[in-house]
Structure 1
Amino acid sequence: MNETTLTAGKPGQSEAKNNKMGRLAAASSIGTTLEWYDFTVYNLMAALVFNHIFFPSFSPLVGTILAFSTYAVGYISRPFGGVIFGHLGDKLGRRWVLIATLMLMGVVTAAMGLLPTYFQWGILSPVALVTLRFLQGAAIGGEWAGSVLLTMEHGRQDQRGRNASFTQIGPSFGTLLGAGFIALITYVLTAEQFMDWGWRIPFFSSVLLVVLGLWLRKGVDETPVFKALETSENKADLPLKEVMVAHWPRLLISGSVRIGSDIMYAILMVFTLTYVTTILGLPRSEALTATMLGAAVHVFAVPFFGSLSDKIGRRVVYAMGALGSIIWVFVFFFLLHTLNPIYICFAVVVGMVFQAMMYGPQASFITEQFPTRVRYAGSSLAYTLGGIIGGGFSPLIMTFLLKEYNQSLPISIFASIGLTVTLLALFSAKETANKPLAE
């Protein structure tokens, strides 16, 4: 099978193909929805609760830094998951890995909800939290590329940007579900009840998404592209080694384009919660409302910009988002300091639109850099390595800068540097839209 051939069929087959793509889109996005629901629950708890129940002997800001250190562990572990599951994805298939990572994430997140606090276990409590966080990050490291390839390798080749963006919707859905559920719990429970036991409920609830995800993914076939690879017996013996030796320039480029978008996401969806509640002293509900609105807009913006990249190119759309974000990271904190809830929501929503300009075409851009025989391993490694710098350490670095300088300007400068790296990587890359997948 030639993977560059468009999927053509008789008119009577169009409805069946649309239904199939709908199932594929749901199977692709449900995994990242679950993973980012779990990740969002952890992120919110790191900003709101964990600094008190796992690191209680420190000041609130220092406790937050320590909580975000465990947040960073989830990113550091991603390349391990990317290496292990990326290798398996190129050897055993996309579908197998997607089921394994989904189950791992569900078990780990439920276990987080069972963790005793520092007051019950002492130092063992944060150690166990870090261990579970490591496993959680490894699952995401192996999940992302498979979710993207599931739709991109099944669908029409002139719609790769749109199809790949279905996976990118997952973080927004997950953030929306996680933040919305926590907002509901904080509304129903008192502050004491939430701190005592209410924070555990969102972790347990992820089991429901696991069941749905397994049902969706078990009903999806292996991708035609991977089946053709098996038939041709052209699999890479050591996919990771081949990526590092033969495709390292593409690895460097595709990893670097992630940095700016991840920093932007970390500011808008993670750091905003700490800044608004701890520094500005505003109610937690206002911070959650802003992030939920931003996530809701993001759900629609991501596939729009993914589709747009099919028409005008990945690099153009991506670069517009990076340039807009460089400007907005300075405007963003100005709007936060107005203390006006409407302006705060506006700051997050507009920021998420700029972030979606990068995030929409990101999945197709990264995976298109690598040939089929190492596409899972290559894109997994690029995605996870870029995520360490852009997403994993960003909340920690931003909290540290805030503690040291007590102002937002250094944070905006830090973000603009990361976004500049993304722009440089884009300018050094070749356009991949409307071109055959690499053989």
Structure 2
Amino acid sequence: METQVNAEPSALSTGSEPAAQENGVAASPPVSARQLQRATLTGAVGSALEYYDFAIYGLASALVFGHLFFPSLGTTAGLMASFATYGAGFLARPFGGLFFGSIGDRKGRKFVLLVTIALMGASTTLIGCLPAGSLGAVLLVLLRLVQGFGAGAEQAGASTLMAEVAPVRHRGFFAALPFVGIFAGLGLATFTFSVMQRLLSEPAMQSWGWRIPFLASVVLIGVAIWIRLRLRESPVFAQLEASREVIHAPMKAVLATARRPVLAATLMRFAEQGGSTIYTTVVIAFLGSFVAARTGVPHAQLAAVGTTGALAASLLSIITTPLFGALSDRVGRLTVYRGGAIFLLLWSLPSWWMISTGDPIWVSVAMIGGLAFGANSMLGAQCAHFTELFGNRYRYSGVALSRELGAVLSGGIAPLLGVYLIGLAGGAFWVMGLYMAVLCALTLAGTFLSTETRERDLTLLGDAVGKGASTT
């Protein structure tokens, strides 16, 4: 017999609102220890593949794609064109979130998580087979769009599923655990590129070496699909089906009744997703282009400094992200979130000065502070908080739409706009510091549109804030 990890009883009524609490604690369906472990693993592996995909693409955009697919544009314009294809993936993510989020609310979480992992993985592998030149550039954009479309509901599904099966009092910690896979994937990607930069010459890297990380993703695809085939459906969704509360147009319901939580969550993504992208992808591009040109240090050497810093920040994030999730279980989601946004706001200008020196130690310190303690303190609280914001009938759709709107408006635009602004300012570091500070200010504004949701009952049909908020 499987051990139960959550003793709080379920409380789903046949009315429009399930019973919210018992003894002051939000109700939650009991799940077995095996199911909890399996949900954690499937979320972590999926997140690892997603961020491995996006990280190797971002690194290749910063290091290779400009020369390979846009050689006639010159260094800065080629880099911008390369990052434009990177942004195309983020542009497709909200559409994927809309499409798959709606299916997840109507058909369940497991089916969507299988389809999205297959789409992402296949696209990444095929990128490794592309020819150089204009034809390759066109196919690159198409594959990037498919990759982003699949990724649009991946993290939303992982966080929703994990929060729905986690023990109530430790939901923040368990909901953050699958996102350890983000940094495992990011770390694996940066480690792979870092090793290749040291083993291969720059011509070999740009000729064929860059293909290896893309082709190798097929291993992660197989592992992820095998694990997800063994996954059970979320008990919260199963209860929704049993009570016949499933609706046929969940995204329409989100747009009609959940505009405030969508706006709040979208703004709250700006500093987290934007910071994550800026302190990995943009830093490496800045070092390899502008700092290299100013200092005379070889491009490859400074780019390697950036990938090493990203690797260190990613490895530390494996520890810090769930710890911040656990902290949100103790002091509240918004307290942790606001603290992270304020820290990153204050860190923005000093960290970019450190990066502008090109010194390996200063660069690593800047990236660790920005990613492991700034962006990911917010991510640790976010994983449970976004799930708790939305009612049960359209939770997947609401989380997916919010996450991916925030992703395209921050992470998708950040590399392209960042490189443009730095170029406009003649390589001045303070431009990106101010840009990062603005993202943090917008995120702080978003937290004041939200509300504290710690230990909220996930079987409630109403939202935590706004027009569709629960009254119980």
In the superposition, the TM-score normalised over structure 2's length comes to: 0.88
RMSD across aligned positions (CA): 1.4
What's the CA shift for 1:194? 1.2
1:83-132 Cα shifts (integer Å, max 9, x gaps) = 110011011110010011111111111110111110xxxx3221111111
Aligned to 2:343: 324
2:206 aligned with 1:206? no
2:240 aligned with 1:229? yes
2:24 aligned with 1:5? no
2:275 aligned with 1:264? yes
CA distance in 1, matches of 2:310, 2:344: 17
Aligned to 1:420: 441
> Are the equivalent residues in 1 in contact too, given 2:186–2:314 (CA < 8 A)?
yes
2:69 aligned with 1:50? no
2:166 aligned with 1:155? yes
Q: Secondary structure at the match of 1:251?
A: helix
2:216 aligned with 1:191? no
Q: Secondary structure at the match of 1:337?
A: helix
CA distance in 2, matches of 1:41, 1:55: 18
> Are the equivalent residues in 1 in contact too, given 2:97–2:400 (CA < 8 A)?
yes
The one-letter amino acid paired with 1:2 is: A
Of 93-102 and 347-356, the range deviating more from structure 2:
347-356
The one-letter amino acid paired with 1:69 is: A
Of 271-280 and 180-189, the range deviating more from structure 2:
180-189
Aligned to 1:397: 417
Structure number with higher helix proportion: 1
Pick one of 134, 141, 144 that aligns with 1:130.
141
CA distance in 2, matches of 1:326, 1:152: 29
Q: Which residues of 2 match residues 25-424 of structure 1 at below 5 A?
A: 25-118=40-133, 123-281=134-292, 282=297, 283=301, 284-352=303-371, 353-406=373-426, 407-424=428-445
Aligned residue-pair number: 428
CA distance in 2, matches of 1:196, 1:32: 29
CA distance in 1, matches of 2:304, 2:416: 23
Aligned to 1:24: 39
CA distance in 1, matches of 2:192, 2:287: 19
1:241-293 Cα shifts (integer Å, max 9, x gaps) = 00000111111111110011122112111101011111112512211111100
CA distance in 2, matches of 1:289, 1:90: 40
Of 108-117 and 273-282, the range deviating more from structure 2:
273-282
What's the CA shift for 1:236? 1.3
CA distance in 2, matches of 1:436, 1:376: 15
Aligned to 1:13: none
1:333-381 Cα shifts (integer Å, max 9, x gaps) = 2112333211111111111211111111112111211111100111100
The one-letter amino acid paired with 1:311 is: R
Aligned to 2:17: none
The one-letter amino acid paired with 1:326 is: L
Q: Secondary structure at the match of 1:107?
A: helix
> Are the equivalent residues in 2 in contact too, given 1:6–1:158 (CA < 8 A)?
no
What's the CA shift for 1:412? 1.4
CA distance in 1, matches of 2:244, 2:228: 25
The one-letter amino acid paired with 1:347 is: A
CA distance in 2, matches of 1:419, 1:114: 39
CA distance in 2, matches of 1:408, 1:276: 10
CA distance in 2, matches of 1:187, 1:323: 37
> Are the equivalent residues in 1 in contact too, given 2:96–2:149 (CA < 8 A)?
yes
What's the CA shift for 1:6? 4.2
The one-letter amino acid paired with 2:83 is: F
Report the CA distance shift for 1:68/1:231 in structure 2 as closer, same or farther (over 3 A).
same
> Are the equivalent residues in 1 in contact too, given 2:254–2:394 (CA < 8 A)?
yes
What's the CA shift for 1:2? 2.5
CA distance in 2, matches of 1:6, 1:106: 33
1:216-261 Cα shifts (integer Å, max 9, x gaps) = 1111100101111111111112011000001111111111100111
The one-letter amino acid paired with 1:179 is: T
> Are the equivalent residues in 2 in contact too, given 1:229–1:235 (CA < 8 A)?
yes
The one-letter amino acid paired with 1:53 is: L
1:16-38 Cα shifts (integer Å, max 9, x gaps) = x4443222211111101101101
Aligned to 1:12: none
Q: Which runs of 5+ in 2 are unaligned?
A: 1-9, 13-25, 462-472
CA distance in 2, matches of 1:336, 1:133: 29
CA distance in 1, matches of 2:280, 2:358: 18
> Are the equivalent residues in 1 in contact too, given 2:28–2:457 (CA < 8 A)?
no
Percent identity reads 31
2:442 aligned with 1:433? no
Q: Which runs of 5+ in 1 are unaligned?
A: 10-16
1:378-398 Cα shifts (integer Å, max 9, x gaps) = 110000001111100011111
